[in-house]
Amino acid sequence: MAEPKKSYYAIIPANVRYDENLIQGAKLLYGEITALCNEKGYCWATDSYFSSLYKVSKKTIQHWLKSLNDNGYISKDIKYKEGTNQIEHRYIRICPYPMDKKVHTPREEKVRDNNTSLNTTFNNTNNIKTVSGKPDTIPYKEIIDYLNSKANKSFKNVESNKKLIRARFNDGYTLENFKRVIDVKTLEWLNDGKMADYLRPTTLFGNKFDQYLNQKPKRAKTAGVVPSWMKKPSQTKPLPSLAKVNEDMQATIAKKMAELNNLGKANARKAE
């Protein structure tokens, strides 16, 4: 028998509803996760549960979860069965997420009402931090400034960049991890005309962050036009040796002297 649907209220705050980076289905899933968090302080449901609830495939659910995680709205803790790669438990939690001041909503009053409801729900849940409680200590500005100094960029400390950083901190990464990723990729891409444009928060702090973090530093190949004589040395005619030059010059001189000598003899015969 399928588990009955929960009757807890679901909350989808304005910054989630109007986030253009989120898959639409992920916004609905966010509301379901908040409802389940109201019961235990975390969401215990499996992909199969959500798949059955919304009548979509498990792969679709995984895409929705990834969209929420990549944009910093949820965090996931996974416990594996001892000695295996099989998941025993998964805990999904709502990340404390301040309202984005640049979100364009239909009515500002509704946004304020929604935030009040969200804070009330968080305050009533023992295992979830309140939005207005503990201050956000993530060093957003230091990370953005470090990227700008290394990559010669001028990115701003805006919410679109901060939420990427927040998502990685929620995954357990540190300030030093961010600096290493920036160092590794600027070393590789900064002098590469094609790749330098990818030295940006959306690329560096996205879902390939762990891959970049564990990459061995490497420099980009020097860009530029390679002369043809360097590309095909085997087809370039070798320069003649000095001895050969001297030999050719002597032969030319001797030939000219002989011509002059013959011309002199011919003129002498005409004079006789």
- Answer for the pair 94, 73: CB distance below 8 angstroms, yes or no: yes
pLDDT of residue 239 exceeding 90: no
pLDDT at 132: 40
Q: 98 lies in a domain?
A: yes
pLDDT digits (tens, 9 = 90+) for 145-165: 999 999 999 999 998 999 999
Q: 78 lies in a domain?
A: yes
Instruction: Kindly provide the residue ranges of all beta strands, DSSP E only, lying in 52-153, ordered along the sequence.
Output: 74-80, 87-94
Q: 16 lies in a domain?
A: yes
pLDDT at 117: 43
pLDDT digits (tens, 9 = 90+) for 41-53: 888 889 999 999 8
Is 115 in the same domain as 175? no
Is 140 in the same domain as 190? yes
pLDDT at 116: 44
Which residue has 């910093």 as its token pair? Answer: 72
pLDDT at 266: 73
Structural domains in the chain (count): 2
Is 195 in the same domain as 142? yes
pLDDT at 128: 38
Give Cα 178 distance to the centre of its chain. Answer: 12
Higher-pLDDT residue of 265, 41: 41
Q: What is the CATH number of the domain that holds 62?
A: 1.10.10.10
The residue from 86, 103, 134 where one domain ends is 134
Is 21 in the same domain as 123? yes
Is 72 in the same domain as 174? no
pLDDT at 248: 76
Is 129 in the same domain as 18? yes
Higher-pLDDT residue of 220, 206: 206
Q: 47 lies in a domain?
A: yes
CA distances from 125 to 23, 51, 72, 172, 234 (A): 27, 26, 20, 23, 76
In 124-231, which residue ranges form alpha helices assigned H by DSSP? 140-151, 159-170, 175-189, 201-204, 209-213, 228-231
Q: 246 lies in a domain?
A: no
Average pLDDT on 196-207 reads 92
pLDDT digits (tens, 9 = 90+) for 94-136: 887 544 444 554 444 444 444 444 444 444 433 334 344 456 7
The residue from 102, 134, 166 where one domain ends is 134
Q: What is the pTM of this model?
A: 0.40
Q: 260 lies in a domain?
A: no
pLDDT at 120: 43
Q: Where residue 241 falls among pLDDT bands split at 50, 70, 90?
A: low
pLDDT at 131: 41
Is 87 in the same domain as 31? yes
Is 164 in the same domain as 111? no
Q: What is the mean pLDDT of the chain?
A: 77
Is 29 in the same domain as 78? yes
Residue 126's domain spans which residues?
Answer: 8-134
The residue from 86, 117, 134 where one domain ends is 134
Q: 2 lies in a domain?
A: no
Q: 233 lies in a domain?
A: no
Is 108 in the same domain as 165? no
Of the candidate ranges 38-47, 101-110, 189-198, 257-266, the one whose mean pLDDT is the lowest: 101-110
First to last CA, the chain: 136
Is 145 in the same domain as 96? no
Average pLDDT on 217-225 reads 62
pLDDT of residue 140 exceeding 90: yes
All residues at 6 or more sequence positions from 198 whose CB lies less than 8 Å from its CB, including other chains: 185, 189, 204
Is 96 in the same domain as 169? no
Give the residue among 28, 36, 24 at the shortest CA–CA distance from 90. 36
pLDDT at 170: 87
